[in-house]
Amino acid sequence: MSLEAPSNPDGDSRYTPTSNDVCSILPSYHMYNSIYKSVTVDNDNCSQPPIYSRSNSINAPSERSSSAPSLFSPVGSRRVSTSDAVDQILADETTVQWQNTVMDNIHELKNLKDTDNSVAKATKITVHFTSNVGEIGVPPVPLDTNIFEHNRGDFLHGYALIENLSAKPIPFDMFYLLFEGTIKMNGKPVKNFLQMFDFSASSNPAHINRLATEYANPYSCPDLQDPVDKTYLSFTDDHVLPGRTYKRFFTFRIPETLLDSTCPHSMNGHVEVPPTLKGSQKVGDVNAIRDFSFAGTDISYGVMARFIGRKSFYKVDEEWIKNFRLPSIVNTKGDEYIILQECTKHIRIVQRSEPLNETTDMAMAAFNKSMLENLHSRTAEHIKEGKQKLELIIADDFKQLELEAQKHRQSYETTRKDRKQSFETDKRQYYEVVRLARRKNFGIEKFLGMFSLKSTKTTYKLDYIAPEKFRQHSRPSKSWKLTIPLDFSFSKGTIDSKSTKIPDISQIFMDFVVVTYQSDKHPIPFEFHHDFVNNQVKNQKDERASAYTDIKELEQIVDDTKRLSTELYNVFKKLGRENFAVEKSLVDDLKGICNIQTKENHLSIPNFTSRLSNGKQLTHRHINKLPWNKTNEGWSKSILVDLDLDSMQLKGYPYRSEKACDRFTLVPNFQSCYMGRMYYIRVSICLSTGQFIHLKLPVHVWKPWSENCV
């Protein structure tokens, strides 16, 4: 019989515990060392604890560092060379740091989970979520995470069940439970941006008081059973005994933000908790969520339970081991640590958003634009100085001292420039695109004048609507109906201006564009904003091209950076490292941009109507008949366009009558070090000259804290 979670006052079927239910502090550093690591700590020693090591990313094998020992290797670990090409990393079990070494290199461990190994098959782990705090003697209330969507600040309660299906005890060295957030691209982990361990749920030689009402002796580990289901609550001497089912309660709280150290560039937006994205779903899956992620790219969250032990414990096939070219993590006897079994139960997270502050957003757009311009200018300066050196070398007319002086000057001057950035916000109150109107007659191009398309400078807010199976109640979609003011203006050219006819507006098109970008190797050094990415035409070539095709400005930023980066590399290659210094931060930032991939999904908006400010409805024919108003600069006229975003259709696919919010999932805007999502509405008008004008207006998808926030 399924149990329903009790409803809270907000109507969500989720239990929110009080602060009295669960201990709200981590185990003390004294307790961590004295119990978990069996280290005697001087009670009179009041010095600060050391900084815990942290693994920021999971690199592919081809990107790992060399086998040379690091200057900053933790105590108890070191790389050792072997006769073959594969390195070994020593996790010295005689030190207190061996478990840290294993955890820091967890991505190097071989995994028996999906093999035919008999011990791995006999180790069964399942993870279960509940809506109430796990407590001995209290029946759990199951929570179906397949139909529930979590927010930041939510508690995650549950338990892991462990069974030994064999007739013999199964030994292990480590068992731990953690809540983690991971970005995967092409099926491979790129970044673990969130890791939270539950000390009480993990295996340790102490009894941890999880609840505020518990006062048991932490130094004693009684062999307790839960009377509800007769499960055992603690392991015996690091063994999973046959005939027993073990239960480990866990509690996590989804953080409000990630740690500041998550982003090496200190970008505020990069430490927000990103939404769940699922790009690796099977084609044709009726339960698939269409969120426009890259194919094979996921942002996922889950609670994982994992056993780690030594290879000698588990009758591992040596031929299977030889197939790996990963470093081995071994103890002092050369026995390799491997993953015996693991289980991850995923949850969906889409955090509630703070209201958009357009003033702050404009300032951040200006700041990030200045960072991009600064990066390009620094790169161009390096290229210029490098070419000057090449000229001196070719002329064979330079002194070594001058060369060294230039070398040091380029390093320090560019750094100072980087620190003294200045930026100005765009004070215009509208978005505008201006194009040269041209007409071709018998191959001769005639300039008619300047045609402008303009709209009020605002960001259109769109409520996030969860996929149908995750909706707790019917969500209104009032915000999915928008009204956009459009202003058209024309100024004639000076040549034969009296006989020039103002071009007609042949058609108007409305598209909703989903922009996704990602970098699978290097962190992106800044945030992208609509104001410095879109509606930008830099030169006459771009202006001509944009009259007939829509230029993707984000791709253009990446291409421009690639061009500068290639030019810098060619100069560096010719001069050599000894004659040409480039600071590492500049190289890393260039890599972060050059590695960006972009994807745009265009959704047409068939249901839109045009009207005047007095409410009179217009057709395209009426728009052309609408008289132009004479101004000092030329002529102008204005209309209002009403959009129904529920009518959106994916271009290139058959028309569907269902609401767009039931077919597509537009997750809230977000940016992280490795991935981001933006939206805009593209207004396209086709002139009688055959030219197109595209105006892009920003859209901010957000998840309100309550329906009253709409």
Phi, psi of 165 (to 5 degrees): -85, 0
Assess whether 482 and 510 both reside in one domain.
yes
Q: How many CB atoms lie within 10 A of CB 219?
A: 10
Which pLDDT tens digit goes with each residue over 533-556? 887 655 455 555 555 556 788 899
Query: Percent of the chain beyond pLDDT 70?
Result: 75
- Tens digit of each residue's pLDDT (9 = 90 or more) over 285-335: 767 889 999 999 999 999 999 999 999 999 898 888 888 877 888 998 899
Distances in Å between the Cα of 339 and the Cα atoms of 106, 162, 173, 332, 668 are 9, 15, 10, 18, 36
The pLDDT of residue 264 is 92
Residue 5 domain flag: no
Residues 59 and 41 in one domain: yes
pLDDT at position 426? 58
- Please check whether residues 345 and 365 belong to one and the same domain: no
How much of the chain is helix, strand and coil, in % rounded to 5? 25, 30, 45
Cβ neighbors of 244 (< 8 A, separation 6 or more) are 163, 164, 232
Kindly tell me if the per-residue pLDDT of 86 is higher than 70: no
The region of weakest confidence among 191-195, 533-537, 616-620, 651-655 is 533-537
Tokens of 51: 């900084």
Residue 710 pLDDT more than 50? no
Q: What is the mean pLDDT of residues 404-417?
A: 49
Taking the CA atoms of 216, 218, 224 and 229 in sequence, report the sign of the dihedral they define: positive
Which residues, 6 or more positions from 81, have their beta carbon under 8 angstroms from its beta carbon?
Answer: 67, 87, 88
In a shared domain, residues 563 and 586:
yes
Does residue 60 have a pLDDT over 50?
no
Yes or no: say if 702 and 489 are a contact pair by the CB < 8 Å rule.
Answer: no
354 has a pLDDT exceeding 50: yes
Provide mean pLDDT across the span 148-152: 92
Sign of the C-alpha dihedral, residues 90, 92, 95, 96? positive
Instruction: Look at residue 97 in the predicted model and tell me its pLDDT.
Output: 80
CB-based contact 675:274 (threshold 8 Å) = yes
Within a domain: 466:
yes
How far is residue 671's CA from residue 209's CA, in Å, rounded to a whole number? 38
* Average pLDDT, integer, range 570-598: 91
Per-residue pLDDT of 368-390, as tens digits, reads 889 999 999 999 999 999 998 88
Beta bridge partners of 347: 301
Nearest to 479 by CA among 346, 646, 334: 646
Give the separation between CA 610 and CA 484, rounded to whole angstroms: 9
> Is pLDDT at 9 greater than 60 in this prediction?
no
Q: How confident is the model at residue 437, as a pLDDT?
A: 87
Q: What is the pLDDT of residue 240?
A: 95
Which comes out higher in pLDDT, residue 589 or 551? 589
Residues 246 and 191 in one domain: yes
Q: Are residues 266 and 188 part of one domain? A: yes
Pair (560, 438) in one structural domain:
no
Pairing relationship of beta strands 608-611 and 635-644 according to DSSP bridges: antiparallel
pLDDT at 68 over 50: no
Question: What's the rounded Cα separation, in Å, for the pair 649 and 652?
Answer: 9
Q: What is the mean pLDDT of the chain?
A: 80
List Cα–Cα distances, 68 to 71, 87, 230, 336, 507, in angstroms. Answer: 9, 10, 51, 20, 65
> How far, CA to CA in Å, does 147 sit from each of 12, 18, 392, 705?
12, 24, 69, 19
**How high is the pLDDT of residue 3?**
37
Above 80 in pLDDT, residue 352? yes
pLDDT at 24: 53
Q: How confident is the model at residue 217 (pLDDT cuts 50, 70, 90)?
A: low
Q: Would you say residue 617 lies in a domain?
A: yes
For residues 287 and 358, membership in a common domain is answered with: no
Q: Letter for the amino acid at 302?
A: G
Asked if residue 131 and residue 268 are part of one domain, the reply reads: yes
Q: What is the mean pLDDT of residues 122-137?
A: 94
3-state secondary structure 2-50: CCCCCCCCCCCCCCCCCCCCECCCCCCHHHHHHHHCCCCCCCCCCCCCC
- The answer to whether 447 touches 689, Cβ cutoff 8 Å, is no
526 inside domain:
no
Contact criterion met (CB below 8 Å) for 562 and 594: yes
In a domain, 9, yes or no: no
Four-residue CA torsion sign, 172, 173, 177, 178:
negative
Asked if 401 and 450 sit in the same domain, the reply is no
The answer on 439 and 583 residing in a single domain is no
Q: DSSP 3-state assignment of 634?
A: coil
587-591 mean pLDDT = 95
So what's the pLDDT on residue 160?
97
CB 329 within 8 A of CB 109: yes
pLDDT, residue 107, reads 83
pLDDT digits 0-9 by tens, 422-459: 555 556 688 999 888 888 776 677 888 899 999 999 99
- Indicate if the pLDDT at residue 653 is higher than 90: no
Residues belonging to the chain: 710
**Last residue of a domain, which of 349, 382, 402?**
349
* Residue 97 or residue 346, greater confidence: 346
Q: What per-residue confidence (pLDDT) applies to 705? A: 77
In terms of domains, do 55 and 124 share one? yes
Q: So what's the pLDDT on residue 622? A: 74
Residue 560 has pLDDT above 90, yes or no: yes
Domain that holds residue 367: 353-426+552-594
Residue of 474, 515, 535 whose CA lies nearest to 601: 515
Q: Decide if 393 contacts 406 (C-beta within 8 A).
A: no
- Of 203 and 603, more confident: 603
Q: Which of 568, 594, 620 is the last residue of a domain?
A: 594
CB atoms within 10 A of CB 215: 8
Look at the chain and report how many structural domains it folds into: 3
Establish if 87 belongs to a structural domain.
no
Instruction: Identify the pLDDT of residue 537.
Output: 56
Residue 317 lies in a domain: no
- Contact at 8 Å (CB) between 170 and 243? no
Of 562, 594, 626, at which residue does a domain stop?
Answer: 594
Structure token pair of residue 229: 């289901």
Does some domain include residue 219?
yes
38: left (phi over 0), alpha (psi -120 to 50) or beta: left
| pLDDT score of 10 | 39
Answer whether 519's CB lies under 8 Å from 597's CB.
Answer: yes
Pick the more confident residue, 514 or 493: 514
As a whole number of angstroms, the distance between CA 535 and CA 643 comes to 21
More confident residue, 526 or 57: 526
Mean predicted confidence (pLDDT) in 175-187: 92
Q: Which of 9-18, 186-195, 460-469 has the highest mean pLDDT?
A: 460-469
